[in-house]
Structure 1
Amino acid sequence: MPRHFLVSRMLLPAIALSLLPAAADAGDITGAAKIRDAKQITIGATRIRLNGIDAPSLDQLCLNNAGERWTCGVAARDELIKHTDGKNWTCHELRSDRRGRQVAKCEVDGEDVQQWMVKNGWALSYVRVSHDYDADEKAAREAKAGMWQGAFIAPWDWRVRNKKTTILGAVKPPPNAHAILLASASGSVAPSPECTIKGNVNSSGECIYHTPKSRWYAQIKMNIAKGTRWFCSTEEAEAAGCRETRR
């Protein structure tokens, strides 16, 4: 057998091993991120759900330490934008969720961004899927950081909230806290200038959403008893099972 052929055969395993790191990184998504809210980003065309944490939606309201309502969902997103502005994201894919997003653990210039969010009180440790950030949540609670300064509802409870929903926070909530926090997405006034899409339920029990340009937008009165709610984007409305009005 020719000598050069034997050398080639001996080199093949080494070449294969040298390719392993690249293969291991094949599932990583890197680049600049568009931050949709405090738990969802987009890099290029890939939608990503941050793993191990849960954070308030844009239309969620909280109470501060004076008992005044504030748009904690918008604040959490804006703090994430400010902290990561101009920095490069690297997200390690773990799985896909039922909404077609990639669930990933992300770093920003080498920093665990989920840990930063929880430690600063802008997100909670999502114990249904991970306990990685339990200690960081405890530190945020003790420091009264972010949402922990006042009163709020855990994001996963807020999405299915009712009168028995637990209120979290560092201070004793005022007597009307439940009414304020439960109705934050369904009150007569939009919770923030970015959350102006109206959702209502028609006579057939179907959820319909209306943008400010829709024909019947002004006629829809927002009333929690009638099943109305505010959305911050058409994607959010459709994810909640609503369809766009046909007129």
Structure 2
Amino acid sequence: MRMKFLPAIALLFISAFLPALAQAADITGVPKIREGDSIQIGSTRIRLGGIDAPSVDQLCLNNSGERWACGVAAREELTKHVGDKSWTCHQRQAADRRGRVVAHCEVDGEDIQKWLVASGWALSYARFSHDYDSDEKAAREAKAGMWQGAFIAPWDWRVRNKKTTILGAAKPPPNAHAILLASASGSVAPSPDCTIKGNVNGSGECIYHTPASRWYAQIKMTISKGTRWFCSKEDAEAAGCRETRR
């Protein structure tokens, strides 16, 4: 008879401490904004859950068919909106494959993921969550952010090929695929602020080179070689690259 009460007692004990555990998992502070969906608070790297934003080296097309650095714009717009304020991030799971904590973040009570999607700077990551589907629909109808022109969904862009679907309100020009597929490592940097080159050496190690590096000019930015542009040394190191020793 005594044993029957043990599970009930254990459940009461766990329930009493669940709020404390949830609160302990919260991460607060003014962040460093790495990308539209990736930040760092203190030493903790955080991936904003439920959404997917363009990488900083991803390019889009505007409503005139001209390419623009939508990944950089997503990061800059988020920084302007709440970058200098204290964030509260509620941890959803331990970490993603890149070691980032997956969390839902708020600033002064505002759902940051919701703002990003509704403003057209990120998409609802329906593969993992449908929390922001209605916000994406609203952004698409308003032609907000990336939706004003043409672009590739961030998850497709990372594994893109010639059959990748192009999204957006504008009718893409005939060469749209060539422009969007080459954006990761085209010969032209995606932004004047994003001129650090990353390449993969013979050992499979990612190395980054600033314009002052010895071999900078010799590095050809081609997708097949695994090269990409970075906007800062911190961005390159967060992606797992190290600075060249020469």
Of all paired residues, the percent bearing the same amino acid is 80
Paired letter, 1:162: N
Shift in Å at residue 196 of structure 1?
Answer: 1.6
Please report the RMSD computed on the Cα atoms of aligned residues, expressed in angstroms: 2.4
Comparing 181-190 with 121-130, which one deviates more in the overlay? 181-190
Following the alignment from structure 2 to structure 1, what is the Cα–Cα distance between the partners of residues 111 and 117? 10
Larger Rg: 1
Following the alignment from structure 2 to structure 1, what is the Cα–Cα distance between the partners of residues 62 and 245? 40
* Secondary structure of residue in 1 paired with 2:177: helix
Following the alignment from structure 1 to structure 2, what is the Cα–Cα distance between the partners of residues 162 and 232? 24
- TM-score w.r.t. the length of structure 2 is 0.84
CA contact (8 A) 2:50 2:128 kept: yes
Following the alignment from structure 1 to structure 2, what is the Cα–Cα distance between the partners of residues 198 and 58? 13
Following the alignment from structure 2 to structure 1, what is the Cα–Cα distance between the partners of residues 165 and 120? 18
Comparing 212-221 with 156-165, which one deviates more in the overlay? 212-221
Q: Which residue of 1 aligns with 2:139?
A: 140
Paired letter, 1:77: R
Q: Which residue of 2 aligns with 1:102?
A: 101
Following the alignment from structure 1 to structure 2, what is the Cα–Cα distance between the partners of residues 151 and 134? 19
Following the alignment from structure 1 to structure 2, what is the Cα–Cα distance between the partners of residues 23 and 199? 40
Q: Which residue, out of 26, 34, 40, partners 1:36?
A: 34
Q: Which residue of 1 aligns with 2:170?
A: 171
Q: Which residue of 2 aligns with 1:6?
A: none
Shift in Å at residue 239 of structure 1?
Answer: 6.2
Matches within 5 A, 1:2-151: 21-95=19-93, 96-151=95-150
Paired letter, 1:26: A
Q: Which residue of 1 aligns with 2:229?
A: 230
Following the alignment from structure 1 to structure 2, what is the Cα–Cα distance between the partners of residues 205 and 111? 42
Q: Deviations over 1:80-136 (max 9, x none)?
A: 111114433111011112222111001110111100110110000011211100111
Which blocks of at least 5 consecutive residues in structure 1 are unaligned? 1-12
Q: How many residue pairs get matched?
A: 232
Comparing 183-192 with 115-124, which one deviates more in the overlay? 183-192
Shift in Å at residue 24 of structure 1?
Answer: 3.4
Following the alignment from structure 1 to structure 2, what is the Cα–Cα distance between the partners of residues 176 and 158? 16
Following the alignment from structure 1 to structure 2, what is the Cα–Cα distance between the partners of residues 97 and 29? 16
Q: Which residue of 1 aligns with 2:192?
A: 193
Following the alignment from structure 1 to structure 2, what is the Cα–Cα distance between the partners of residues 34 and 240? 15
Paired letter, 1:136: D
- TM-score w.r.t. the length of structure 1 is 0.84
Paired letter, 2:179: I
Following the alignment from structure 1 to structure 2, what is the Cα–Cα distance between the partners of residues 226 and 40? 25
Comparing 213-222 with 36-45, which one deviates more in the overlay? 213-222
Runs of 4 or more, structure 1, over 6 Å off, are none
Paired letter, 1:42: Q
Paired letter, 1:87: K
Closer, same or farther in 2 for the Cα pair 1:149/1:28, shift >3 Å?
A: same
Comparing 84-93 with 125-134, which one deviates more in the overlay? 84-93
Shift in Å at residue 68 of structure 1?
Answer: 0.8
Which blocks of at least 5 consecutive residues in structure 2 are unaligned? 1-11
Q: Deviations over 1:58-84 (max 9, x none)?
A: 111110111111111111111111111
Closer, same or farther in 2 for the Cα pair 1:88/1:217, shift >3 Å?
A: same
